[in-house]
Amino acid sequence: MVDPFKDIESFDRAGMLNLISRFPEDIERALELTENIEIEETEIDNIIISGMGGSAISGDIIQAWLRERSIYPIYVNRDYDLPGWAGRKTLAIFLSYSGNTEETISSFNFAIKRGCRCISISSGGRLEEESRKRGIPHIKIPSGYQPRAAIAYLLFPCIRIFEELRIVEAGSEIRECVEVSREVREENGMNVELEKNPAKRIAKEIKDTLPNIYGWRHLVPVARRWRTQINENSKMIARFDEVPECNHNDVVGWTQRNEISSLSSCILLRDRRYETRRIRERFDYMKEIFEGAGARIVEVDSRGRSILARIVSTLYIGDFVSCYLALLRHIDPTPVEVIARLKERLSRIR
């Protein structure tokens, strides 16, 4: 079989694939940055994690990962302000890779006015400046990444905050994340030929389709991440949904075979270690419905012992898939001019 990825590196002019490939080492480096972190324990009733895009997904992952473990409700905020219940017993964590994301800066200011207990993570920018000025703990992470490629530096320092506040103990789980990430890279790296490379095969399978990604429980934020990575890296329309909610609405849309359904792919993110029997039956039923509608079916299995490792392993495969999709389409995965144009347009509003 001819490998369609041969000589295709020339399209990745800004090196997105190289950034993705550094993920295991980025996790280790992110942990080094937080070795001396000291956060004073305080009484809290709830936790808000604010961010947008590639920053906010870290909040989604933590919320899903700690669903059954955290005694505090965790809310992921993607807006200019905060919920009305945020107050002095709220731990408010702000994630912005650039440090200049306007929605995050605005919600940060709301938190200050509400008296929330604040912590921030960024590579610099206004978020760092305002945090330093106000004596708010700030974790500075390396610059030079696209925000979506910097997830290790946003997710794992955030996890360390939860450890420092004694909300969770995650040392062994984090170490496993590094291990499974290296395994995923070994199987899906650029030098691995198509026949032995799951991410390349998935990209080839869904290249000319409308991808629909489905996840259950802790893989719902991973389904969202697959969608946004395909949006930004592959420059393709994609959507995501969650099980079992989608069984009460989305599946009905697949009961009529038409041009759109026949040009679609359905990517099922599976966790056969933790899925219940009822969830497995739901996935089996969904496959029957999707196949009847003419969609291509792709199943992706998570790996690892812990839930966190299974989240990270499935997420990392998706990052490779999105990059290979871009290269198959002869597109540089890095530029996102349409987002830059919107930011420039908004900057003119006073």
127: domain range?
A: 42-165
Same domain, 197 and 146: no
Residue at 5 is within a domain: no
Read off the pLDDT of residues 115-147 as tens digits, 9 standing for 90 and up. Answer: 999 999 999 999 999 999 999 999 999 999 999
Query: The tokens of 309 are what?
Result: 């490792």
Residue at 9 is within a domain: no
Same domain, 197 and 308: yes
Cα separation of 205 and 225, whole Å?
19
Q: Is the pTM of this model over 0.85?
A: yes
List helix spans (H) across the chain: 16-21, 23-33, 56-65, 102-114, 125-134, 151-164, 171-188, 198-206, 220-232, 259-262, 277-292, 307-328, 337-347
DSSP class of residue 29 equals H
Cα separation of 324 and 139, whole Å?
32
DSSP class of residue 12 equals -
Residue at 104 is within a domain: yes
Same domain, 244 and 322: yes
Cα separation of 144 and 112, whole Å?
29
Same domain, 116 and 225: no
Residue at 135 is within a domain: yes
Residue at 232 is within a domain: yes
Name residues of the chain where pLDDT drops below 50. Answer: none
Same domain, 123 and 81: yes
Same domain, 74 and 152: yes
Total domains in the fold of the chain: 2
CATH of the domain at 145: 3.40.50.10490
Read off the pLDDT of residues 18-29 as tens digits, 9 standing for 90 and up. Answer: 999 999 999 999
Residue at 248 is within a domain: yes
Residue at 187 is within a domain: no
Residues designated catalytic: 232, 248, 343
Residue at 128 is within a domain: yes
